[in-house]
Structures are given as C-alpha cells and as structure tokens.
Amino acid sequence: MATASANGPNALLVSVVLLATVCACSALSPYAAGLSEDFYHKSCPQAASIVDAYVTKFLKKDRNFAGAFNRLQFHDCWVGGCDGSVLLNSTETNQAEREAHVNFGLRGVAEIDEIKAALEHLCPGVVSCADILILAARDATAKVGGPTWTVALGRRDGVNSTALMADTNLPFPVLNFSGLVANFAAKGFGAREMITLSGAHTIGRSHCNGILPHLYNFTGRDDATDTDPAMNKNFAVFLKKLCPEGNRTNTIFIDSTANTFDRAYYKNVLQGKGIFITDSTLITNPVGKKVVTTFSKPRSSFFTEFAAGMVKMGNLGVLTGTEGEIRKTCQFVN
C-alpha cells in the first residue's frame, strides 16, 4: 500500500484536517473556557481524592448532607456564577448571600471549609473553594445512589457576595411553572432541564419556612385551611403536624426516600405529595407533567440528564486565569 508524503499538498491537507478536528473538539467541549479535567494534575494531584474522602466522612455522620452539598452548588452557581460566593460570611458593611431569605437554613459551609483546610495543608493556595464545592456535590450525589459525572476544574473564587443578589436570582419556593421556566431560562436552561434539576429534591431536607405557603397561604388568605387543593389531603395533614402554622424552623425531609438519590421525587409529585409549591407546580403544565411522568419510571433518562444538567450548571459565570482569587479559607476573602 502506498504511503502519503508528509510534504507539499498532502501536508497542507493533513494540517487542515487536524485543525478542523481540534476546532470541532473545542466546539463540542461541555466545559467553560479555562476549565479542564486535569487542572490540578501537577499542582495538587490528590485534590479530588481528598474531597471524596471528606465527603464520605460527612455522609457517614449524616447521609442527608448529600442534599446540602447539592443545594450549595445550585445556590452558588445561580448567583453570579460558580465562584464560591455563597460560602462567604457577612461583614459589618455587607450582608452576604447566606443571609438572603432564599438561603434560609443553608447547610454544608463549615464542611466545605474543613475540606479546604485539609487541601491548604497539602497544597497551599492552589485549590479553590468554588472547585471544592462542585466536587463535593458530585461525590455526595454518587455516594447516595445517584449518577456521577466528570468534573472540569480550574474555577477561581469570587470576592463579592450580597444577599440582594441571591434573593434576586434564586427561585423562591412559591414560583409557579411559568415563573420557574423564566428563572431557568435567564441562566440558559430549558423547561426540561428545570424539571430535571428539580429532581435534586429527591435528597435533602428543608425548614418549614419554605413549606408554610403551600399549607396555609396558598391563595393569599393566610389561614389554616388555605392549602393547595391539588395536594394529597392525607399528606397535607401529615405536613401540618410537622410544620404547624407559623413555625418556620422545624425541619422535615423533602422526599419519602430523602437519603437516597432515586426517582421517588417524581412519583411523589404525581401523587400530590410535592413539598414545595415549586414541586407540585411541575404537573400543572402538560409538558411538565409529561416529563415528570417519564422520569418517574424505571430506566428513564433522569440520571443521565441530571448529570448533564449539573455539568452545565458548573459552567455558569466561572472565574479563571487571573480573575478572582484562591481563598485561604472559604468563608473569608483574602
């Protein structure tokens, strides 16, 4: 068989083909510019394994931390991008994101800082809090039965965090279907992706704060009988025992299998057992109900689509290169 010469027109053709291949691969990359799977390969090769070990430790203590880590990623990335700003403390002159109404009861911040301390001891000034948060959400999801996904790293930490930004960007638990669609569309996510990521409610718990409007103030009458009529009546009675009128601080699991990542969330929603208004509203739209029904069935694509949604979320507003900083502790800017 004849071999092609590496000179002349053939060399030009090879170069063009290689360039086209590189460009095509770049265009198809699911990651934001500046992020890569091997970002810490030389600077801190143990980074991912250390995060994984600490997540395992936290879940042994309280398996429900899986929901907390998932919530942290969403509440971080949705407000100015995935820059770890949700972890920052307030100062005398600024109310940080964690003080926002929509972040009431946020957990996992101290645990992320514990991971950060271990990484700072091993690789000082290298691994960002933003990346730790993304890794923890992925690892925790997989460890409680959910999907796993490849995480690209290289995010840097932001220096700005305000409660107003959080309350402006994050969806409140009283939004209806069109409100949720609009909120997610503003971040580049479609209605199906919104329903997919709502499936994170298959793990975790909530304070009654976000549930009371579903039980006592659904139409604005603000009385004990003003409950979402679409809610399963027995379930409403059960919730009212756990969340008496006016009690904002009691905590309840937000899924019947709250420590296991599965499809039970969608089954619950179809049965009128959604905890939040934003859960039950998913089936008030025919398209939404069709997706919820599909995801509730065995062998559906929910796990695959959830993983893809988390990867996409992890690309939002990332700081790379010389932008931002690498914090020494996650709750304070340097």
Catalytic residues: 75
Say whether 76 counts as a known binding-site residue.
yes
Instruction: Tell me the backbone φ, ψ of residue 251, rounded to 5 degrees.
Output: -115, 145
Say whether 226 counts as a known binding-site residue.
no
Say whether 228 counts as a known binding-site residue.
no
DSSP notation for 100-138: SGGGTT---HHHHHHHHHHHHHHSTTTS-HHHHHHHHHH
Say whether 322 counts as a known binding-site residue.
no
Task: Go through 33-65 and write b for each residue having 16 or more CB atoms within 10 A of its CB, e for each that does not.
Answer: eebeeebbeeebeebbebbbebbeebbeeebbb
| Gyration radius of the chain's alpha carbons | 22
Say whether 157 counts as a known binding-site residue.
no
Secondary structure element (H or E) that encloses residue 206, with its range: strand 205-207
Dist CA 221 CA 240 (whole Å): 17
Say whether 79 counts as a known binding-site residue.
yes
Instruction: Tell me the backbone φ, ψ of residue 157, rounded to 5 degrees.
Output: -90, 140
Dist CA 50 CA 23 (whole Å): 34
Say whether 85 counts as a known binding-site residue.
yes
CA 274 to chain centre: 19
Dist CA 292 CA 287 (whole Å): 9
Say whether 113 counts as a known binding-site residue.
no
The answer to whether 201 and 255 have CB atoms below 8 angstroms apart is yes
Say whether 83 counts as a known binding-site residue.
yes
Say whether 206 counts as a known binding-site residue.
no
Instruction: Tell me the backbone φ, ψ of residue 256, rounded to 5 degrees.
Output: -70, -20
Secondary structure element (H or E) that encloses residue 205, with its range: strand 205-207
- Cα atoms found within 13 Å of the Cα of residue 255, Cβ hemisphere only: 21
Annotated binding site for Ca(2+): 76, 79, 81, 83, 85, 97, 202, 255, 257, 262
Annotated binding site: 76, 79, 81, 83, 85, 97, 171, 201-202, 255, 257, 262
Annotated binding site for heme b: 201
Annotated binding site for substrate: 171
